[in-house]
Structure 1
Amino acid sequence: MPPATSPALLPRHLAIMLLLMLGSSFAANHIAAKVALDHGTGLIISVIFRSAAATLALSMLLIWRKQALYVPRQYLGWQLMLGGLITMQCMLIYSSIARIPVALALLVANMYPILLALLTWILGGHKPTRKTSIIMVAILVGLLLALDAPSLIKGATLDGQWVLGVVCSLLTALTFAIGLWITENKLAPLPGLVRSFCTISQTLVCLIALSPLGLLPGGSSLPHDAVGWIALSLVCVLYTTGFVTLFVLAPRLDMTRNAPFMNMEPVASLILGWLILKQTLNSTQLLGGAVVLSGIVALAYQRAPRK
């Protein structure tokens, strides 16, 4: 039997273009989610619909690839923990975009590389290098600017919903970082398709079970008009298309070198938020956002091996 060969990589310009499009697709998904929430869609319902669409798509992939759906006992606990974390992450990011500008919510949530690096170090992994530490500090300074800390220092009034939105974004970054650590250190032997299906389906089952309990007021309400239904449909289509496309093409995209281009998501959300939602950030916040994104890209290139 001939040895398995890795799939041929796409030309780099094509891979970069696809990653930019995928980042824009995920940004558009969050913009659509904001519209759906504004038109009466409950938080839980939004995530249920999105998870159901992704679960259906992954089910079709499982059948197409004839992949056995089996999680060995030694990985079961970690897989359940991962599913719980991703469920929390989905709810937190939607809670955030309901309260603060989408671009700001995604910018804060994209702090997860810093948290992952620190978590890896705390749990016995590699200590961040001096250069990495400097980049991380620069990112934190950029985040303070993006959150308009100078205005707060001057005595600007803090809105409770704004604070809650920022906290939800920070918790989104934390839960995602923990989930990535579990994926990389405890569930790496599992086939990616099996792990993804179990994680997304866990989110779906968990939220369906929680929905009747009424823990989140209005969380299970359906859209109250056609705009809400269209936006909810776009959430399902954009997220599922982006997720499945990334999963299928990832082996051919040379993610080690090209992953930084996925950071198009906050940039696209800023543009789409301005065009569709009329959301804007001031010059200080834009400067901070640029610093954060530059730092995240620099961190990604720090991790990429030189060729």
Structure 2
Amino acid sequence: MLNNRLLVVTALAPVIWGSTYLVTTELLPPGRPLLAAVVRALPAGLLLVALTRQLPRGSWWWRSLVLGTLNIGAFFALLFVAAYRLPGGVAATLGALQPLLVAGLSTGLLGERPTRRTLLAGVAGVAGVSLLVLRSDARLDALGVAAAVGGAVVMATGVVLSKRWTSPAPLLATTGWQLVAGGLVLVPLALAVEGPPPSTLSAANYAGYGYLTLIGAALAYTLWFRGIRALSPTHVTFLGLLSPVVATLLDWLVLGQRLGGWQLLGGAVVLAAVVTAQRRTLGRTAANNYQPLTTSPRATDSEVV
């Protein structure tokens, strides 16, 4: 039961991320994705650091920078390039490679060998996302494809390293460090590409940015990293496939976009892949690794890489 509750709670993170597509298009000023990424990460990180009043110690200064760059800074930047140079369906389909990448990296860095079921579920997940969001007239761009694949690689690496490097600090503090690091990496890029923020913002803009900061980052990333601490990173990353499903569902419910038969089939395949990937005996792992939000793991700051 503990394992099931953890999976459901962790799944809330990609569900929330699926809603950020709608928030971005409907509430935020157009043409400012990097500004949205900075506002999403940096204020949320500063808020969590202020609440916990803890700064990194020892090796966790550079580890926080590495993890924040991988999970947030580099990932958002590459996602930005892919979004501008590829149709959304192509970018989402390439991003769906992440569970397979995590499974491969976990073998080398964590000693977790993927099962045949996991690999088949990963392939099914990619197929399901492609049916859900890919269009027949989608065009390919070499740089865009490289950015989308690179985004999946850096995020997968960040997920696995987040499991390998267990922070001695409370979860909220560690999450805050990564959000701050990722946001600081994005600031110069956002200024160089998009220029300074708009001089005037509407109430809808403020509402959208507030949602991205408090819900899309502070809450969602805390739940995500909590799941990584307690569960196998391969199982956690499969939950990320829920994001395009939620985004498509919200487009249908809120924007009135039509859902075809192939999209419905793709959504069903994605859900089946997510469920299939979780069908392992994880209770012992979850019970041994579970950490409440207010406690610290037993690892020490001198833990070696």
Q: 1:32 Cα shift?
A: 0.9
| Conservation of the 8 A alpha-carbon contact between 1:41 and 1:228 | no
* Secondary structure of the structure 1 residue equivalent to 2:155: helix
What residue number does 1:26 align with? Answer: 17
Does 1:171 pair with 2:156? no
Matched, 1:237 2:237: no
Q: Could you tell me which residue of structure 2 aligns to residue 273 of structure 1?
A: 251
3-state SS, counterpart of residue 233 of structure 1 = helix
Alignment partners' CA distance in 1, 2:185 and 2:144 = 23
CA drift of 1:96 comes to 5.1
TM-score, normalising length from structure 2?
Answer: 0.69
Shift of 1:20: 6.3
State the secondary structure of the residue aligned to 2:253. helix
Q: Which has the higher contact order (CA 8 A, sep 6+)?
A: 1
1:109 is aligned to 2:95: yes
Change in 2 beyond 3 A, CA 1:71/1:283: farther
> 2:36 is paired with a residue of what secondary structure?
helix
Over 3 Å counting, the alpha-carbon distance change for 1:62 and 1:262 in structure 2 is same
Q: What is the aligned-residue identity percentage?
A: 22
Residues 184/23 of structure 1: CA separation in 2 closer, same or farther (3 Å cut): closer
Cα contact 2:48–2:218 (8 A) shared by 1: no
- RMSD over aligned CA atoms reads 4.1
Q: 1:96 to 1:117 in 2, by over 3 A?
A: same
Question: Which residue is equivalent to 1:137?
Answer: 123
* Match in the other structure for 2:52: 62
Q: Secondary structure at the match of 1:139?
A: helix
**Which entry has the higher C-alpha Rg, 1 or 2?**
1
Cα distance in 2 between the residues matched to 1:302 and 1:220: 49
Instruction: Answer whether contact 2:16 2:220 (CA < 8 A) is retained.
Output: no
What does the per-residue CA deviation read over 1:60-98, in whole Å, with 9 as the maximum and x for residues that have no partner? 3313xxxx423323x544432222212011233455566
Q: Are 1:294 and 2:284 matched, yes or no?
A: no
> Tell me, which stretches of 5 or more residues in structure 1 are unaligned?
1-8, 152-156
Supply the distance in 2 between the matched residues of 1:305 and 1:30 (Cα, whole angstroms). Answer: 33
Cα shift readout 1:79-134 (whole Å, capped 9, x = no counterpart)? 32222212011233455566645x88666535422210012224572332233333
Equivalence for 1:83: 68
**Length, aligned pairs only:** 277
For the residue of structure 2 that corresponds to 1:302, the secondary structure is coil
Whether the 8 Å CA contact 1:100–1:165 is kept in 2: the answer is no
